[in-house]
């Protein structure tokens, strides 16, 4: 865990200090309706991590209140994910279904208190009576039913005497509440479905908001930690517990920002569509953002936990670059795995002046990895190299084998090209070469100067393996679904050639294939007769063009004791001042990439430091606590572009204005996309972000209470498309989202709109 303390731990410590709770009890309460994904990993990390840090306990509880979507296989997947990440839930897994009798009794109490009633209004009328953001709702005529009638109807609902949707149980709260979720929310609905644990005992099932808080109370949970989309649900949570007069101590809900990653879909509904549609090979497909998928691809628990630690715990939603997750697995594997040689696209090389075979000593690890281990590499007259490692007509700065340029074989000899053999179509099928006996690695006395070393395998000794090259599943930075799938997300090479020690000696299950990337022996399909390797991640970020710091630089920079950074091919030492800044920034939960950029650029660090004065000043905004990482992202990207051709005193905007912009993004007043538009205007005019947003009317609408009525209206106006969607045409989700965005002039928060539309169309 990073040394900086997040706001949740601050709350926990204050609660312990004040005596509010004697023990910290958290819970991880997923619905078992899909495999857990990387967003669940963050929640697991937070809930189990906080319990561990304060000598408490975290309950693993299945929120199994919807029998139509849940399954035992999802329960097992959730248990497996928690265990694999290194956490322990104790002796028992909890299930909300275990509390069904007690939750039912609590519902009876509310009815007897006159605080709940059975409503027989149909869904459409109920929606109309709910009101809008600007208009109060109207209570159902059925709210006047007597307590006796409500008790009778509710029992008959439980006994299965009514059809699905014929009645619901609602809380009687306030139909004019500003928080529309408090307008007599549903507590129970009828579901004639077999429950995977309770069987057919129940015909009614509690709604999440009712079951959630009561389950927390029953289990003695102290801190009910959930993501921001449940912020408005907190009022229902508190109302239920307060109205029932449940004894202290009772749980309280605290929200944190959910994890969003670019090029990634996190919706379980959309992930299920991919699985059922055959676009991926199951929930554990290595391209899936599920924990099972990352595990099969070869990610380690340490890498995922380090990623969760790096991104920190914030109060405002933001988007994390998937490159940061990829960096974490590279950083973890760099010091762990052996380096071996595998040729993916073989080109035959015949060394005409060599006869026989010999074994070359080859270390598994480079000199900067503190591990020992080596193998014997067979060398012979015929070898295979990577096809891209030879060019007949090379471009400028090509340092591998050419007709005029020799190259070193890694751990072996220097060779030079003597003849290029082609087939009838002009394709190169073989290189005839010669080697220099005195050029052997470790004892080279040839005096021949070469600029690079390439990997290779002996033709007669190499083993044939299947290699699966996985790339990002989606090509779009903000994917919506199937239409954004990357067609090149999987390439299967059936006849790659690997050095024999990898198969015969099996020194590890994860490897770095020299100059190719990190690979993992597939835990399901790998056999001794048909070895299969999955590509975990490349050696560098092939999606992002980087002009300065490479990934190897960031690995060094991530460790306080390492003061070297790779810049344009040369190792440059960090100054003491740069290292101090770097350590300071990473301690603030700023990503390693951003921290490195800021620390090494004097103009950027000066601007950022001046901005921090305003960012950290309580007088600036005493009611909010913002994470400086958002400010750092703007400085390292937007400001950096401006300072490429300008000096600090030439900028029309001030650090204080950039702080204002960062806070507007954090507060979800504007989106990241709008922020870029605002920044462009700041560059031109020097106007404050607030004035630009007000003048142009750019303020984003993120309030669920404001967006929900618009969603309801759009859905109500398009019954035909609703029917088509529910019949299986899920692409119509985009239609509804687009209509809502159009109705709000593009100002509605797309993430909120997607969530609300998806929920309403269930």
Residues catalogued as catalytic: 31, 258, 268
Query: Are the beta carbons of 337 and 508 closer than 8 angstroms?
Result: yes
Q: Token pair for residue 316? A: 């405002």
Instruction: Tell me the β-bridge partners of 360.
Output: 377
Cβ–Cβ contacts within 10 Å for residue 669, how many? 19
Cα dihedral 586, 591, 592, 594 sign: negative
Using DSSP bridges, classify how beta strands 357-363 and 428-435 pair: parallel, antiparallel or unpaired: unpaired
Query: Are the beta carbons of 349 and 433 closer than 8 angstroms?
Result: yes
User: Going by C-beta distance under 8 Å and a sequence separation of 6 or more, which residues neighbour residue 101?
Assistant: none
Task: Give me the long-range contacts of 51-57 (CB less than 8 A, separation at least 24).
Answer: 51/24, 51/25, 51/26, 52/87, 53/1, 53/9, 54/12, 54/13, 54/16, 54/24, 55/23, 55/24, 56/23, 56/24, 56/25, 56/26, 56/222, 57/23, 57/24, 57/25, 57/26, 57/90
Q: How far apart are CA 284 and CA 74, in angstroms?
A: 12
The H-assigned helical ranges of 54-89 are 72-84
Q: How far apart are CA 305 and CA 325, in angstroms?
A: 10
Residue with tokens 């209470």: 705
Q: Token pair for residue 36? A: 């857990």
Query: Are the beta carbons of 298 and 534 closer than 8 angstroms?
Result: yes
Burial class (CB in 10 A: 0-12, 13-18, 19+), 218: middle
Give Cα separations from 527 to 531, 532, 533, 536 (angstroms): 5, 7, 11, 19
Q: How far apart are CA 760 and CA 754, in angstroms?
A: 10
CA-wise closest residue to 327 among 309, 303, 308, 305: 303
Q: How far apart are CA 547 and CA 644, in angstroms?
A: 12
Q: How far apart are CA 12 and CA 1, in angstroms?
A: 16
Q: How far apart are CA 257 and CA 369, in angstroms?
A: 37
């Amino acid at each position: 865990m990073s040394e900086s303390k997040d706001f949740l731990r601050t709350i926990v410590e204050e609660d312990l200090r004040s005596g509010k709770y004697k023990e910290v009890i958290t819970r991880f309460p997923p619905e078992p309706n899909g495999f857990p994904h990387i967003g669940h990993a963050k929640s697991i990390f937070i809930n189990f991590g906080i319990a561990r840090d304060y000598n408490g306990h975290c309950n693993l509880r299945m929120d199994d209140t919807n029998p139509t979507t849940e399954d035992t296989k999802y329960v097992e997947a959730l248990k497996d994910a928690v265990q694999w990440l290194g956490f322990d839930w104790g002796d028992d897994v909890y299930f909300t279904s275990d509390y069904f009798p007690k939750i039912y009794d609590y519902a009876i109490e509310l009815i007897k208190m006159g605080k709940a009633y059975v409503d027989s209004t149909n869904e459409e009328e109920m929606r109309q009576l709910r009101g809008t953001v600007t208009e109060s709702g109207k209570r159902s005529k059925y709210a006047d039913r007597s307590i006796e009638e409500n008790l009778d109807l509710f029992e008959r609902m439980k006994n299965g005497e009514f059809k699905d949707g014929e009645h619901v149980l609602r809380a009687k709260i306030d139909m004019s509440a500003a928080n529309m979720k408090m307008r007599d929310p549903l507590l129970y609905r009828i579901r004639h479905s077999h429950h995977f644990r309770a069987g057919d005992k129940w015909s009614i099932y509690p709604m999440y908001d009712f079951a959630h808080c009561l389950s927390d109370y029953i289990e003695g949970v102290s801190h009910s930690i959930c993501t921001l989309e449940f912020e408005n649900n907190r009022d229902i949570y508190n109302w239920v517990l307060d109205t029932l007069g449940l004894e202290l101590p009772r749980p309280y809900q605290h929200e944190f920002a959910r994890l969003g990653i670019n090029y990634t879909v996190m919706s379980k509904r959309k992930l299920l569509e991919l699985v059922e549609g055959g676009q991926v090979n199951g929930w554990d497909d290595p391209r899936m953002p599920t924990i099972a998928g990352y595990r099969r691809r070869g990610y380690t628990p340490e890498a995922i936990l380090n990623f969760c630690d790096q991104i920190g715990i914030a109060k405002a939603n933001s988007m994390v670059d998937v490159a940061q997750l990829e960096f974490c697995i590279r950083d973890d594997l760099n010091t762990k795995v052996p380096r071996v040689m595998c040729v993916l696209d073989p080109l035959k090389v015949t060394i005409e002046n060599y006869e026989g075979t010999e074994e070359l000593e080859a270390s598994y690890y480079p000199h900067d990895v503190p591990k020992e281990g080596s193998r014997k590499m067979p060398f012979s007259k015929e070898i295979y190299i990577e096809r891209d490692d030879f060019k007949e007509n090379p471009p400028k700065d090509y340092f591998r084998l050419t007709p005029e340029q020799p190259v070193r074989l890694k751990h072996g000899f220097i060779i030079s090209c003597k003849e290029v053999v082609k087939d009838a179509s002009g394709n190169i099928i073989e290189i005839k070469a010669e080697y220099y006996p005195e050029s052997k690695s470790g004892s080279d006395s040839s005096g021949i100067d070469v600029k690079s070393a390439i990997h290779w395998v002996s033709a007669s000794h190499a083993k044939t393996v299947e290699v699966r090259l996985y790339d990002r599943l989606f090509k779009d930075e903000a994917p919506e679904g199937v239409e954004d799938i990357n067609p090149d997300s999987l390439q299967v090479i059936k006849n790659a050639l690997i050095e024999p020690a990898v198969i015969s000696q099996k020194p590890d299950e994860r490897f770095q294939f020299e100059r190719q990337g990190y690979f993992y022996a597939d835990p399901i399909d790998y056999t001794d007769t048909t070895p299969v390797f999955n590509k975990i991640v490349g050696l560098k970020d092939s999606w992002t063009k980087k002009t300065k710091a490479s990934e190897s630089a960031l690995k060094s920079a991530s460790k306080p004791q390492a003061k070297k950074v790779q810049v344009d091919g040369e190792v440059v030492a960090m100054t003491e001042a740069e290292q101090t800044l770097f350590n300071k920034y990473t301690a603030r939960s700023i990503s390693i990439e951003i921290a490195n950029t800021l620390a090494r650029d004097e103009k950027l660090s000066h601007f950022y430091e001046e901005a921090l004065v305003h960012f950290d000043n309580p007088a600036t905004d005493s009611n909010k606590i913002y994470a400086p990482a958002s400010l750092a992202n703007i400085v390292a990207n937007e400001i950096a572009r401006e300072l490429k051709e300008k000096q600090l005193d030439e900028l029309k905007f001030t650090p204080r204005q950039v702080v204002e912009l960062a806070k507007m993004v954090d507060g979800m007043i504007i989106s990241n996309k709008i922020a870029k538009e605002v920044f462009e205007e700041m560059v031109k005019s020097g106007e404050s972000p607030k004035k630009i947003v007000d003048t142009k009317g750019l303020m984003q609408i993120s309030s669920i209470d404001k967006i929900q009525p618009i969603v309801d209206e759009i859905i109500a106006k398009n019954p035909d498309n609703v029917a088509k969607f529910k019949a299986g045409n899920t692409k119509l989700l985009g239609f509804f989202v687009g209509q809502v965005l159009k109705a709000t002039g593009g100002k509605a928060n797309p993430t909120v709109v997607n969530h609300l539309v998806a929920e309403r169309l269930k």
